[in-house]
Structure formats: C-alpha cells, structure tokens
Amino acid sequence: MKTSTYLKHFVLLIWFLSLQTVFSQIGKANKVVLPETYDFDYIYKLKMTHKKGDITFDYYLNEDASYFGFNTEELSKSNDNGTIFSVMDSDLEIVAMFMEMMGKKVVQKTKLKVSNLDSEEDMSDYTFTEIDPKTINGYECEGFVSENDKIKITFYITDDAPVSFSKAFESNTKQMPKGFNAALLKKYMDNGLMMEMIYEDKKKSKNNMTMQCVSLEETEFSIDTTEYGSMLSAFGG
C-alpha cells in the first residue's frame, strides 16, 4: 500500500481524535507574521510500530490553542546542527519549521492548506461498529472498528484527556467522506484523543501497523519566535 493511502486512513481518525494529516502546498508564507510565542502544556507521544521498525512522534499540545507542535528523532537526524521543531498553525494556515542553520536560529514558513480525505471518497462499503472499551495509559477509551473487505482499522478514543487535536482540525471535521456515519463519533469531535489504532491490511500483512499513545505528560515548553530569523538570515541576507 502506498504511503498516501496510509495517511488517508490515518487522517480519517484525526477527524475524531484528531492527529496527523495530509497537506497540499498552496504557496510561500514569508509574509505571514507569527505570534511572539507558541506555548505548550502537554506532550503526546505516539509510537508507530511497523514491520520495518518503530518510530515515535512527539506532539506538543495546548489546551486552548488551534496549533500543535511536533518533532521526531528521525526528522532531527537530517539536520546536523540540532533539532527541528515544527508547528502547525491552523489559524494562520501554515507550518513553521524552527531549526538552527550555520549557527543561527531560523524559521521556514510554508503556507499550507489541510487537505483531508477527498470529499468525494466513498466509504459506504465500510462498516463502523462499537467494540468493548478498555483503559490505555489510565484513560477510559471507547473502541471502534472500521472495516471493509480489504482493510480493518481498530481504534480507541478517549474524551477524558485534557487536550486534543480537535481545534487544529476544526474546519475539516465537516468534510466527511460519503457514506460515513458521523453520529457514531460525534461526542469526540470537540474533545477526542486517539490512544491506540491497529491497522490491518487483509490482502498484504506487510502493511499492518499499530499506533499507540505511550504517554501524555504535562510540560512547560515554549517557542519564542522572535529569536528566529528567515532562512536568508543564515546566509547573511
């Protein structure tokens, strides 16, 4: 299965939880003015387990904000000078990537538009059923299964967590695919957080994967955007 297909089904979960998304670039964002700081209250660690190995994504959340931050060790490995920290700001419709380059702190802003599943995608062949709940990391979660003859997705969501991705994807919760029964997960649209997802490809088991929240911890972390110049500043521009 292609990576884009993985992401499409993962984005479906984000509508309820919500989480990672598919973006389409619509132009540069050099003139977009960032807020002076991005403040975060919690770190949500999501571990993805696949046949080819494991990867952990760190998501930084704020209870009241329509943005979230994220990084991974793998992403930072591509930058010899240090870590890379990105922020998706739904209000500004950008992703800002904060990094060090040539001894200077720089930010690269990209104007993006969240492009969830194609609104024309037909999901009428999927069944959506509720399964037994379970406790994950101390949070009571309801379980659901989305399934057709090719794919089975089992996921667990809680509305007891203090944070979620809902505000960051609020405008996209209305763009459900054809045939999807939104009433099943209505309670999670405003405050739902996915704690586990099991993806099963009935045709090719090599595509199977599991995503699980391994921790949700409080933090006091901020990005002072005023400390970061443009990419050109790293070259003396």
Alpha-carbon span 77 to 99, nearest angstrom? 12
Phi-psi group of 27: left, alpha or beta (phi > 0 → left; psi -120 to 50 → alpha; rest → beta):
left
134 and 62, same domain (yes or no): no
Alpha-carbon span 134 to 186, nearest angstrom? 19
Closest CA to 213 of 59, 10, 24: 59
152 and 99, same domain (yes or no): no
pTM higher than 0.85: no
pLDDT given at position 235: 58
158 and 103, same domain (yes or no): no
Q: What is the mean pLDDT of residues 147-175?
A: 80
Please indicate, yes or no, if residue 223 is contained in any of the structural domains: no
> How sure is the predictor about 26, in pLDDT bands with cuts at 50, 70 and 90?
very low
More confident residue, 198 or 168: 198
More confident residue, 237 or 166: 166
Q: Is the pLDDT of residue 190 over 80?
A: no
Please indicate, yes or no, if residue 147 is contained in any of the structural domains: yes
Please indicate, yes or no, if residue 149 is contained in any of the structural domains: yes
pLDDT, tens digit (0-9, with 9 covering 90-100), for 52-68: 888 888 999 998 898 99
50 and 108, same domain (yes or no): yes
Q: Hey, which residues does 75 pair with through a beta bridge?
A: none
Domain residues for the domain of 131 are 127-214
Alpha-carbon span 67 to 21, nearest angstrom? 13
